[in-house]
Amino acid sequence: MLFTFQIYCDFAGYSFIALGCARIMGFQLIVNFARPYMATSIQDFWRRWHISLSTWFRDYLYIPLGGSRCSKWRTRMNLMITFVVSGLWHGANWTFVIWGGLNGLFQVIGNVMKPIKEQTRLCCGIRKDSIWLKAFNILLTFVLMTVTWTFFKAHTLEDALLAISKMVLPAGVLYKPDLSVLLYGTMGVGVLMVCDMLEEKNGKHPLLENDSITIRFASYVVLSMIILSVGVFDGGQFIYFQF
């Protein structure tokens, strides 16, 4: 779960740095992330995550294959092919192939199950705009993405399967985390998700785009202090630089 947030902060972080640097020089680049962990489905997730690459695969692979203009099963096959290829784009490793395949498979299953879910919702008398239904869908999507990220993170297929088995099978405490690191990480994730939820609701960042100039500049100062006090300055590269 923590890697799920780490990869988001890593990739979205340097994407936003690139956007900011480009804007200073007068260039307006495409926004690459739009609060992906607020997604209510895997399909919705890929509208929000790595938008530039998702758009490229849609325009140059999915649509030329026939896109959604074919039969239902051909459309689903096009989707699977697109995501398996996107996995291979990240590296010639079975872990990436399975990562891409799972993302495609979850979308196909979601598409097949859509009428059943709708019928279940109607039978249970749940409103389409129910906040509880939306929260459930967000949580389910997050759990499914955490499973896929396990394969993305692992160096080998054996490592990934071992990690999955440790998630579902009872085991003793094998690792005792540094409590200070865990505390900082938890605080960071908490602030991140609260800001993402508020931005999702209001359409702008609650601190960095606040109407009050005092709150905006106070946010800049506090964030700068946090970066300087707990930031890692050992020269390590961004995770996504390998791609």
* Amino acid, res. 56: W
Cβ–Cβ under 8 Å, residues 129 and 115: no
For residue 110, pLDDT beyond 90: yes
pLDDT tier at 174, thresholds 50, 70, 90: low
pLDDT tier at 1, thresholds 50, 70, 90: confident
Q: Of all residues in the chain, what percent carry a pLDDT higher than 70?
A: 98
Least confident of 97-101, 163-167, 176-180: 176-180
CA dist., res. 84 & res. 78, Å (int)? 10
pLDDT tier at 182, thresholds 50, 70, 90: confident
- Please identify which of the residues 50, 90, 155, 205 carries the catalytic annotation: 90
Residue 205 is a catalytic residue: no
Q: How many CB atoms lie within 10 A of CB 154?
A: 21
Q: Length of the chain in residues, anyone?
A: 243
Q: Of all residues in the chain, what percent carry a pLDDT higher than 90?
A: 69
